[in-house]
Amino acid sequence: MYQQEPILRKKEPMNKAAIESYARNLLGQIIGAVMIVSQTSGLGSPLDFGSGEWLLVANALWASLIPTALRWANKKDPAFGRVAEVVAKEAGKKLDAAAKKAPAKKK
């Protein structure tokens, strides 16, 4: 009998730009949801919200994920898309090549 080696999964680095985009979307959605709920319910302050109002605001959590998820699903999106890492590597190679070709600055 042979021993089976454990399968090691490669950890994908988190895309910082995607997380920042989601955070901006989330903040905007929550502020908008609080404003709409307070206007439609007649409550003057979020401190007066009950559980029903906060559940309406909580929908902003999933709603703010949609724009970022759509950008991730777009294969051609160079910032968040599934090819973003490949695009970034290619850009890095071109920058390195350009830096090597540039003459050194004299002090």
Q: What is the pLDDT of residues 20-55, one digit of tens each?
A: 888 888 899 999 999 999 998 888 888 899 999 999
The percent of residues above 90 in pLDDT, for the chain, comes to 15
pLDDT of 8 strictly over 70: no
Q: What is the mean pLDDT of residues 48-70?
A: 87
Q: Which residues are within 8 A (CB) of 53 and not within 5 positions of it... i.e. 6 or more apart?
A: 37, 38, 41, 43
pLDDT, averaged across the chain: 76
Which residue, among 27, 11, 9, 13, has the nearest Cα to 68 in the 3D structure? 27
For the chain, domain boundaries: 16-74
End-to-end CA distance of the chain: 68
